[in-house]
């Protein structure tokens, strides 16, 4: 390699490593501020809530996650609506078992046979919605595990606006939550769970600190008022979008409502990926972010500070300065991982897996680069092209 190219790479990686350290510091501050914002739960008005879940097949830990939704300490009325595309779906048996275990809860299984758009999950939710009795609607995935105080925390975010003398509909239109990943066995699963806790959620917290608010939703919890949903055109407007959670929150924010981030943290299962499935998911995630926010995606170059520091050591042939920079970057990266992963999210898997952090960050840099190389994705075994947030079916050949 020509010396001038080696020198250029060394300079570039030095700059990016330093910028990455700046990002780590900013995200660390955002995490600490989020922890400081936690407060004792105020009494809530216990409005009625409908929980909607779109199901397809059995996910690991799904039934136990359902049980957690039935064991809420919430004093108000709430119901659970489960939608399946066919009564023969394996998830239907889990819902029937749940109905038998919790006869005191309002639990309904609804068959939603129509495919209304390319996003099957939203298609099911659209058909579920007419069955909802309440005006507070909460959507989350089948494997989301929650604490007994989950509904209290979510509803309190709406209720606090009213207590301050503001009409709820003009203030908080949606509430969303952070989440941690629950790995299942494989190394790829552990890497993804580690990335959720120590990278993705860090970015969410920093977004919130810089903007003073969120302008998108996170699929782990999408709690929305029916009035806000109707104002944006209902769930039907999301039928062809891949990132339906992001788009729903963005549309609620553009309609003049506030998207609130609850201090509650939930847990989602991370499949026991093989490497192919892992990389397909990571690239789909990357291209979804790039499509939703091209400028923001380019800006993610500064979030890969540890990976740049590692490459800088190679480019500088283990020079003392590059090793010092690597040490500083690693220290800040570990501090951020522990603060957000362990302190904010209470993720019990973060500390045992910290040794994987350099590997995870190098893989993340690679998938970030791959995110630029096209708009094709694989989702649930089907091939799509992603354009302007919408899915377009492709022939895999």
Using CB atoms within 10 Å of the CB of residue 4, give its burial: 0 to 12 exposed, 13 to 18 middle, 19+ buried. Answer: exposed
In this prediction, residue 339 carries a pLDDT of: 97
User: Cα separation of 325 and 204, whole Å?
Assistant: 26
In this prediction, residue 45 carries a pLDDT of: 67
**Selection from 359, 369, 364, 374 nearest residue 187 by Cα:** 359
In this prediction, residue 166 carries a pLDDT of: 40
In this prediction, residue 371 carries a pLDDT of: 93
Task: For residue 371, list its beta bridge partners.
Answer: none
User: Cα separation of 238 and 250, whole Å?
Assistant: 11
Question: Element (H or E) spanning 244, and its range?
Answer: helix 244-254
Residues 6 or more apart whose CB falls under 8 angstroms from that of 226 comprise 132, 134, 135, 136, 137
User: Cα separation of 377 and 100, whole Å?
Assistant: 40
Whole-model pTM: value is 0.90
* pLDDT tens, N- to C-terminus, the chain (397 residues): 677 877 788 899 999 999 999 999 999 999 999 999 887 666 566 789 999 999 998 887 899 999 999 999 999 999 999 999 999 999 999 999 999 999 999 999 999 999 999 899 999 999 999 999 999 999 999 999 999 999 999 999 886 544 444 444 458 999 999 999 999 889 999 999 999 999 999 999 999 999 988 999 999 999 999 999 999 999 999 999 988 999 999 999 999 999 999 999 999 999 888 999 999 999 999 999 998 889 989 999 999 999 999 999 999 989 999 999 999 999 999 999 999 999 999 999 999 999 999 999 999 999 999 999 988 988 777 788 888 888 887 766 5
Domain ranges across the chain: 3-36+289-392, 45-277
**Would you say domain 45-277 falls under CATH 1.10.1270.20?**
no
User: Cα separation of 133 and 233, whole Å?
Assistant: 19
In this prediction, residue 208 carries a pLDDT of: 94
């Amino acid at each position: 390699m020509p010396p001038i190219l080696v020198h250029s790479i060394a300079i570039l990686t030095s700059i990016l490593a330093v910028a990455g350290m700046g990002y780590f510091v900013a995200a660390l501050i955002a995490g600490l501020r989020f922890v400081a914002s936690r407060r004792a739960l105020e009494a809530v008005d216990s409005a009625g809530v409908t929980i909607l879940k779109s199901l397809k097949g059995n996910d690991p830990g799904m039934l136990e996650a359902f049980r957690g939704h039935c064991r809420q300490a919430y004093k108000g009325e709430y119901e659970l609506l489960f939608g399946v595309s066919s009564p023969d779906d394996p998830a239907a048996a889990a819902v029937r078992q749940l109905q038998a275990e919790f006869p005191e809860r309002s639990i309904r299984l609804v068959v939603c046979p129509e495919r209304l758009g390319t996003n099957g999950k939203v298609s099911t939710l659209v058909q579920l919605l007419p069955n909802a009795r309440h005006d507070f609607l909460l959507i989350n995935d089948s494997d989301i595990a929650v604490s007994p105080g989950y509904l209290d925390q979510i509803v309190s975010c709406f209720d606090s606006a009213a207590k301050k003398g503001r009409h709820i509909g003009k203030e908080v239109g949606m509430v969303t939550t952070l989440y941690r990943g629950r790995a299942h066995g494989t190394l790829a699963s552990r890497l993804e769970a580690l990335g959720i806790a120590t990278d993705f959620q860090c970015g969410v917290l920093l977004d919130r600190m810089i903007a003073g608010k969120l302008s998108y939703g996170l699929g782990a919890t999408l709690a929305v008022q029916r009035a806000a949903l109707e104002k944006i055109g209902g769930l039907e407007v999301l039928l062809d979008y891949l990132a339906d959670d992001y788009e729903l929150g963005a549309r609620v924010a553009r309609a003049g409502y506030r998207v609130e981030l609850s201090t509650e943290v939930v847990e989602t299962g991370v499949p026991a990926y093989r490497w192919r499935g892992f990389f397909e998911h990571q690239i789909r995630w990357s291209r979804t972010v790039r499509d939703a926010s091209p400028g923001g995606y380019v800006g993610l170059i500064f979030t890969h500070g540890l990976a740049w520091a590692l490459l800088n050591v190679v480019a500088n042939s283990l020079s003392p300065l590059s090793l010092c920079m690597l040490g500083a970057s690693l220290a800040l990266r570990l501090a951020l991982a522990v603060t957000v992963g362990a302190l904010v999210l209470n993720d019990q898997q973060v500390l045992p897996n910290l040794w994987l952090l350099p590997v995870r960050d190098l893989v993340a840099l690679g998938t970030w680069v791959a995110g630029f190389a096209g708009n094709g994705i694989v989702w649930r075994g089907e091939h799509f092209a992603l354009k302007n947030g919408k899915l377009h079916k492709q022939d895999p050949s």
